[in-house]
Structure 1
């Protein structure tokens, strides 16, 4: 079977064709099949590979080709059976972080494809990361839901080790709607605005986001292109911004999923903000979206100070997301 040629000059070779799949760079027209494969790979409800995220990855490959790649594998009938991505965050040198993800159809597992994909991702991540000015080392990350034991075994076999786990916290919006309305009333009584995201907020939010993520081992700052792609994933009307006379105090940016579920993709609180804001922000978000959502999910580390507030407001733990890592 012929293998498509790699259009990236000096690119790492695709997974070998003797395994039965032919590979090429992914395209926007591949999105529907990619989503179907991602749904197969997700064993629980915490679906982190959804349409806005996939579109953002494909868009990033075009706007930052020197730091991104997404490939897809097809069987002899031209049906997509796998895809894999490499995304390099070119900020925060000298140690450059690359994130890799991949999905393989159930019918094509246990055939060596997964390990071959990891080999391609390893080589491509190293190649792209070492083009970053000032880079002296690489950290390659991959995310797996805690219940996805098959992916976790594959990552372990490929040399990845668990580096950090975070917990999804779930709010049943209808059950917590009254708590949410009370939180909104409390914030407004103290002189804060609580409203959906507006275009005028974006510059300040990017600055706040980068200030917060620069101190995180799980997240990294977003450059202008990455920030625009992130905002493209967000439902502005379902996101919440809390502001005072100086501007944004806190924010939750929500990605709208299927069946009335929302996942917070980015959040932040201004340094020195009153404790009242951090305490009531998530409940207030529930109140803001109560008429249009059934569920709201927030991802947080066990040592994150927001956990106590989430539990007090009625959020409940609902699965984990584990970061696996290789440091080079």
Structure 2
């Protein structure tokens, strides 16, 4: 179906005039989130992740950077459920990224304190998220396919049930993979005519453009604006990030960006370097540049005393990334799912 076959966006999205703020949800009062809530929100997320057995923790720095982005309206797009003692027991957030050009998306994010579950709070929070998400999709004015999306770790079974009961369908499946670094590493074999160089700020805009091109044919990926690209860098590890350039033209043709999530190491019981983004532009594919970038970063992780190399992958990635990673010794240790309502 093409965009010309679609009904007008406002009709498809059916945005409500008003968003229903939870009213009878366990005695909580509701207000928007602010940056002053970062410590309390971090504590809430830690409690949720511990209860659900999630193999990572969300740091205060990661919570704080969610308040970045000029396109975000926190007063209207966030919600905090506060108990009588002023403690945040639930939260919700909706984000509609500004660069969407193929599918306009609203991402729904939220959680309920484990001690406050079973009171209908999650159901009302999700209803608020969906209603606000529909409003944001309609307000985008983009005559494109539209999507309400929520990610959940597969260990969080109650969240998955809540989403499905409320009309969300599992549409994409993701694996977290890791590879031990105390065994022989693959050799770094850089294709002829190319060089792999350390990440630099001077090349970062070229990397953004290369990323948008490399992921143009990936399901669910949309172009990243410069502001969106620069957001979410609190865990960025420049020393573990590399850029592939064409020797003749100086063009950026591939990249690997890493994160250093030290706050996760006590939880998982080992030290790991995490590959956040890996891409190769279409014209340079088929030359084993991605394995060369991965071999390069494995050596960097190992040199800094890491025990494992980790990354995440869309299991249906049409580029064959899952097979590539398995061939390099990565194995799945955790999984998550995207649930959506397609509009």
In structure 2, stretches of 5+ residues that fail to align are: 1-16, 266-270
TM-score, normalisation: structure 2: 0.81
Alpha-carbon distance in structure 2 between the residues aligned to 1:193 and 1:56: 33
Q: Are positions 1:101 and 2:109 aligned together?
A: yes
Tell me the secondary structure at the aligned position of residue 19 of structure 1: coil
Q: Is the 8 A contact 2:148 2:341 kept in 1?
A: yes
Residues 145-294 of structure 1: matches in 2 within 5 Å? 145-173=153-181, 175-176=182-183, 178-180=184-186, 182-183=187-188, 186-187=189-190, 190=192, 192-245=194-247, 246-257=250-261, 258=263, 259=265, 260-273=271-284, 275-292=287-304, 293-294=306-307
Alpha-carbon distance in structure 1 between the residues aligned to 2:100 and 2:307: 38
Residues 53-72 of structure 1: matches in 2 within 5 Å? 53-60=62-69, 63-66=70-73, 69-72=77-80
Q: Is the 8 A contact 1:279 1:306 kept in 2?
A: no
Give the 3 Å change call, closer, same or farther, for CA 232–144 of structure 1 in structure 2. same
Alpha-carbon distance in structure 2 between the residues aligned to 1:101 and 1:164: 17
Alpha-carbon distance in structure 1 between the residues aligned to 2:146 and 2:233: 27
Give deviations 1:105-132, integer Å, cap 9, x for gaps: 1111110100011011011111112111
Give the 3 Å change call, closer, same or farther, for CA 212–242 of structure 1 in structure 2. closer
Alpha-carbon distance in structure 2 between the residues aligned to 1:78 and 1:327: 37
Tell me the secondary structure at the aligned position of residue 119 of structure 2: coil
Quote the offset at 1:214 in angstroms: 3.0
Quote the offset at 1:11 in angstroms: 6.7
Residues 1-40 of structure 1: matches in 2 within 5 Å? 12-16=19-23, 18-40=25-47
Residues 120-135 of structure 1: matches in 2 within 5 Å? 120-135=128-143
Quote the offset at 1:140 in angstroms: 0.5
Alpha-carbon distance in structure 2 between the residues aligned to 1:101 and 1:129: 16
Give the 3 Å change call, closer, same or farther, for CA 223–111 of structure 1 in structure 2. same
Tell me the secondary structure at the aligned position of residue 140 of structure 1: strand
Give the 3 Å change call, closer, same or farther, for CA 253–124 of structure 1 in structure 2. same
Give the 3 Å change call, closer, same or farther, for CA 52–269 of structure 1 in structure 2. farther
Residue in structure 1 matched with residue 10 of structure 2 by the alignment? none
Quote the offset at 1:226 in angstroms: 0.8
Quote the offset at 1:39 in angstroms: 2.5
Alpha-carbon distance in structure 2 between the residues aligned to 1:291 and 1:239: 14
Tell me the secondary structure at the aligned position of residue 166 of structure 1: strand
CA RMSD of aligned residues (A): 2.5
Q: Is the 8 A contact 1:170 1:296 kept in 2?
A: yes
Give deviations 1:43-93, integer Å, cap 9, x for gaps: 345437444542332213xx1135982322211000111111111124335
Q: Are positions 1:114 and 2:118 aligned together?
A: no
Q: Which has the higher helix share?
A: 1
Tell me the secondary structure at the aligned position of residue 299 of structure 1: strand
Query: How many residues in Structure 1 have an aligned counterpart in Structure 2?
Result: 311
Alpha-carbon distance in structure 1 between the residues aligned to 2:18 and 2:229: 26
Q: Are positions 1:319 and 2:311 aligned together?
A: no
Give the 3 Å change call, closer, same or farther, for CA 18–249 of structure 1 in structure 2. closer
Q: Is the 8 A contact 2:97 2:105 kept in 1?
A: yes
Alpha-carbon distance in structure 1 between the residues aligned to 2:294 and 2:227: 28
Give the 3 Å change call, closer, same or farther, for CA 317–224 of structure 1 in structure 2. same
